[in-house]
Structure 1
Amino acid sequence: MINKIIDNKLLFIGIHIVIGYLATLPWFPKPFGLGVIAFCVFLVVKTKNRNEEAFLLAMYVAGAEVFIRMIKGFVFYETGKYSVILLLFLGIFLGKFKQKFAIQYLFYLLLLSLGIVFTQVPEGESIRNAIVFNLSGPVVLGIAALYFYKRPIQKEQVLSALYFMILPIFSMVTFLYFRTPDIREIVFGGGANFQTSGGFGPNQVATAIGAGIFIIVVFILLKVKFTGFLILDILFLAYFIYRGLLTFSRGGIITGFAAIIFFSFFFFLHKNGSLKVFFNYFLMGGLFLFVIWVYTSNITGGMLENRYAGKNAKGVEKKDITSGRLDIIEEQFKSFFVSPLGIGVGNGKFKRQLSQEHVTAASHNEVGRLVEEHGIIGFIILIGLMFIPMINFIFFDNLQRAFIISFYLFWFLTVNHSAMRIAFPGLIYALSLIKIKDNDYNTDIENE
């Protein structure tokens, strides 16, 4: 089944575009959400993870999580994260590969759990929900790291996994097309737009689309079959960028392009060591993006420039271009200096609600959350997470560096604008720990 999907990429892209339309029908979301999880678990158990099915299907679920949440296809909101954890657990215990024991990440999971000791929530609030909301994403990272740490994976499998991830993003983008009102009737302002995001969180939607943009570019640069037609690949890429810009959520789109730039840089160093070729592609890509930007800006009445420049609808520069995130981070560090041992998992939001600072939102920044809620232990966790992947980066060649640095950037930038609300950043972080191999790695790969 897996091979059929990989060998018929355009067909399954078409199927997922149809799924995006079907998701607009009221009877479809719940059966689809349940069916995806059941099928993925069944396939991993049946194959016993002989060909990294757990990896491929965990990537699919991570790519589908925002879409299925958007259409209300999950029974529980955090089902996507639970499913990724389950699939990777099954992959570890059923697979023939004897995974290297990653004591660093087992220690990381134990340190995370210490923060629960200090957790206290106001009367009427659920302590379970507070813990799950804040720790389910970091736990995905820990389990994924245990699965992928120094795991040898073929380059072709990495590309197949990226393809699996983008399939449900095609469904999401199609769903956005059918659910978005006439663009001319939308009043764009200086904030993220829920109407162009399917009525769902623009931050998460833009994160998924940013990942999709990156994946298409990787296939184009590596000259690996995506749809089989370069012009169609470019058209899909243009539409993804257009839909991403329309969300007016900047973080996911900027993150996607940052990952593309670093991937391209190291890929061209690997290819022929020519920075000139890199800059030529960079200029062509910049022109391509400029055309899409101008078109999108025109249909939003010029509000796109205001949004990315940190201005309001009147064109006046905002005091805080981070949409309140800096205020939250400032409060989080103040909290750390008062309570250096941490205030407990999930307590940050409730503490801010009781303060006089009028900053009540949940953290959008995992760095700030770790520092505030886990204290000094949070700093230790953060340092470990940041430096362990660098070992791969230092000792591997430029082709592997291209993948490793882009995965690493996706994690770091995403958790700094969207925390770990979804499974994607934790899973993508773990991919920076793998050993990427190729069948002809020592000989023909340099001549690709």
Structure 2
Amino acid sequence: MTKQEITYIQLVLFHAGIGFLIFLFPFVSKIYGYSIFVFGLYYVIKTHNRNNEVLLVAAYIVGSEVFLRMTGGNPLYEISKYGVIAFMLLGMRYAGFSKGAFPYWIFLLLLIPGVIMATYSLNYDSDIRKTIAFNISGPVCLGIASLYTFRRNVTFKQINNILLSIGLPIVSCMVYLTFYTPNVQDVITSTQSNFETSGGFGPNQVATFLGFGMFVFFSRMILESKTKLLVAINLIVALNMSYRGIVTFSRGGMITGFLMVVLLFFFLYYKTNSNGKLKLSFLALLLAVATMAVWSYTSLQTDGLINKRYANQDAAGRAKESQFTGREDIAQNELNTFLKNPLFGVGAGVAAELREKEIGIKVLSHDEITRMLAEHGLLGLLGLGILFLTPLILYFENKFNLYLFCFVVFWFLTINHAAMRTAVPAFVYSLSLLRVQLVPSLNKDTSLK
């Protein structure tokens, strides 16, 4: 076993230990949360970001977000988005940004009218600063991160390390959930999303992270496992994340993670030679068998309720009227708001207040696309067009970024069921803009002029 492989196993075990330690001593979560920012800042300043260290730090911040929210370890609820923004700006201080990143300057400028309108339209009894920040922090995080990553050169090894930086804190979350709910059968009584199996936190967000973690370790099993031991370790971690994600009974995150894995397989199969196709076929068969085993075990543990959940049935087996737990009604409301205010929208955060006046309950949007339309109007539509088209155009420049479509699909599907409540869709989207190289550049300076 090589030194690199030993280090990798130690990292996985170390993060599993963090999850167990925080379960035993909850106050450790605060120490863990603060130390991420302290050591991250020290790491970037010490290295002067020569090899895009800010991406590793930002990735780790993103990966730990839901776990720290779940355990009370974040200094501020939205600190992860602000942390990504701060580290991306620090990275630009050391390494600059591409002059060709003007689409994302335009995207950020398109958000300004919605912010200005919100200051005049929000209720006087609302905390205007917090309301605007809550609704605009996700898009701003995406814009700033994209300015840094746009056409930035990284090696294939580096992008895999960035993904690992997201995945390691999710290992801690997975272990914490295992001890938080050791016996799933005791808490599953219906087909609704379950807070007990998601650490007492929002099942939608937890499943989103576990689904992405599943993708990270499945991809490492395929691309970064040179020995049978590493194949086994990555497969075990991925399957455990799959199980823990499925039993949250929140479907969006797990379906997204599964589609990412399938998309990666198809992309690799299309790009590889006949010998590679044979190996991928074997791995695909292995994953199919393992996935069916996990699903069967989950079905057994939940007395078949998980089957009914994904079939959109209640515990009695009756079909539910809504396939999206009422979210389509919110989306329709926002589309109607857009049609009434097509040019500039109603302003950032205002759509939720208008809904409250109409139905008497303040319900936040789960769909970032319809929210952008309702609150930013045609400017929001133009901004979304920039976000959709730019990565696809870049693909024709650099077709070796085999994760590009996986990242864009994750972003798109996640913002459709979980909006941008967390930093992960914004940051993962920005990774699709990287220019991936097979070998390190001879020029060690990664700055962009």
Report the TM-score, using the length of structure 2 for normalisation: 0.92
Match of 1:290 in 2: 292
Q: Is contact 1:166-1:212 (8 Å) kept?
A: yes
Aligned counterparts of 1:5 and 1:93: Cα–Cα separation in 2: 31
Q: Counterpart amino acid of 2:439?
A: N
CA shift, 1:184, in A, is: 2.4
Deviates more, 1:283-292 or 1:214-223: 283-292
Superposed counterparts of 1:369-380, under 5 Å: 369-380=371-382
- 1:253 lines up with 2:274 in the alignment: no
Match of 2:444 in 1: none
Partner of 2:200: helix, strand, or coil? Answer: coil
Judged with a 3 Å threshold, the aligned counterparts in structure 2 of structure 1 residues 440 and 89 are, in CA distance, closer, same or farther, namely: closer
Aligned counterparts of 1:7 and 1:183: Cα–Cα separation in 2: 33
Match of 1:166 in 2: 167
Partner of 1:23: helix, strand, or coil? Answer: helix
What runs of 5+ residues in structure 2 fail to find an aligned partner? 442-449
Q: Is contact 1:214-1:259 (8 Å) kept?
A: yes
Match of 2:183 in 1: 182
Aligned counterparts of 1:226 and 1:206: Cα–Cα separation in 2: 30
CA shift, 1:291, in A, is: 1.2
Judged with a 3 Å threshold, the aligned counterparts in structure 2 of structure 1 residues 187 and 262 are, in CA distance, closer, same or farther, namely: closer
Match of 1:351 in 2: 354
Q: Deviations for 1:256-284, whole angstroms, at most 9, x for unmatched residues?
A: 11111111111122111687775664444
Q: Counterpart amino acid of 2:380?
A: G
CA RMSD of aligned residues (A): 2.1
Q: Is contact 1:10-1:228 (8 Å) kept?
A: no
Q: Counterpart amino acid of 1:363?
A: S
Q: Is contact 1:134-1:346 (8 Å) kept?
A: yes
Aligned counterparts of 1:337 and 1:148: Cα–Cα separation in 2: 35
Q: Counterpart amino acid of 1:147?
A: Y
Q: Counterpart amino acid of 1:391?
A: I
Seq. identity, %: 36
CA shift, 1:52, in A, is: 1.2
Q: Deviations for 1:355-387, whole angstroms, at most 9, x for unmatched residues?
A: 04x674201110010011101111111111111
Partner of 2:178: helix, strand, or coil? Answer: helix
Judged with a 3 Å threshold, the aligned counterparts in structure 2 of structure 1 residues 47 and 245 are, in CA distance, closer, same or farther, namely: same
Match of 1:418 in 2: 418
Partner of 1:415: helix, strand, or coil? Answer: helix
Count of residues paired in the alignment: 434
CA shift, 1:332, in A, is: 0.5
Q: Counterpart amino acid of 1:390?
A: L
Deviates more, 1:267-276 or 1:74-83: 267-276
Match of 2:152 in 1: 151
CA shift, 1:392, in A, is: 2.1
Aligned counterparts of 2:91 and 2:420: Cα–Cα separation in 1: 23
What runs of 5+ residues in structure 1 fail to find an aligned partner? 442-448
Q: Counterpart amino acid of 1:346?
A: G
Q: Is contact 1:191-1:307 (8 Å) kept?
A: yes
CA shift, 1:187, in A, is: 3.1
Judged with a 3 Å threshold, the aligned counterparts in structure 2 of structure 1 residues 157 and 368 are, in CA distance, closer, same or farther, namely: same
Match of 1:406 in 2: 406
Aligned counterparts of 1:347 and 1:125: Cα–Cα separation in 2: 10
Q: Counterpart amino acid of 2:374?
A: E
Judged with a 3 Å threshold, the aligned counterparts in structure 2 of structure 1 residues 226 and 171 are, in CA distance, closer, same or farther, namely: farther
Q: Counterpart amino acid of 2:403?
A: F
Partner of 2:436: helix, strand, or coil? Answer: strand
Match of 2:327 in 1: 325
Partner of 1:436: helix, strand, or coil? Answer: strand
Partner of 2:312: helix, strand, or coil? Answer: coil
Aligned counterparts of 2:289 and 2:228: Cα–Cα separation in 1: 23
Judged with a 3 Å threshold, the aligned counterparts in structure 2 of structure 1 residues 222 and 5 are, in CA distance, closer, same or farther, namely: closer
Partner of 1:12: helix, strand, or coil? Answer: helix
Aligned counterparts of 1:331 and 1:16: Cα–Cα separation in 2: 43
Q: Is contact 2:256-2:410 (8 Å) kept?
A: yes
Aligned counterparts of 2:439 and 2:153: Cα–Cα separation in 1: 12
Judged with a 3 Å threshold, the aligned counterparts in structure 2 of structure 1 residues 375 and 9 are, in CA distance, closer, same or farther, namely: same
Match of 2:446 in 1: none
Q: Counterpart amino acid of 1:286?
A: A
Q: Deviations for 1:206-226, whole angstroms, at most 9, x for unmatched residues?
A: 111111111111111114459
CA shift, 1:232, in A, is: 2.1
Match of 2:217 in 1: 216
Partner of 1:33: helix, strand, or coil? Answer: helix
CA shift, 1:151, in A, is: 0.7
Aligned counterparts of 1:154 and 1:50: Cα–Cα separation in 2: 13
CA shift, 1:169, in A, is: 0.5
Q: Deviations for 1:1-38, whole angstroms, at most 9, x for unmatched residues?
A: xxx99971111111111110121213212121111111
Superposed counterparts of 1:225-236, under 5 Å: 228-236=229-237
Q: Is contact 1:214-1:257 (8 Å) kept?
A: yes
Match of 2:82 in 1: 82
CA shift, 1:148, in A, is: 0.5
CA shift, 1:311, in A, is: 1.2
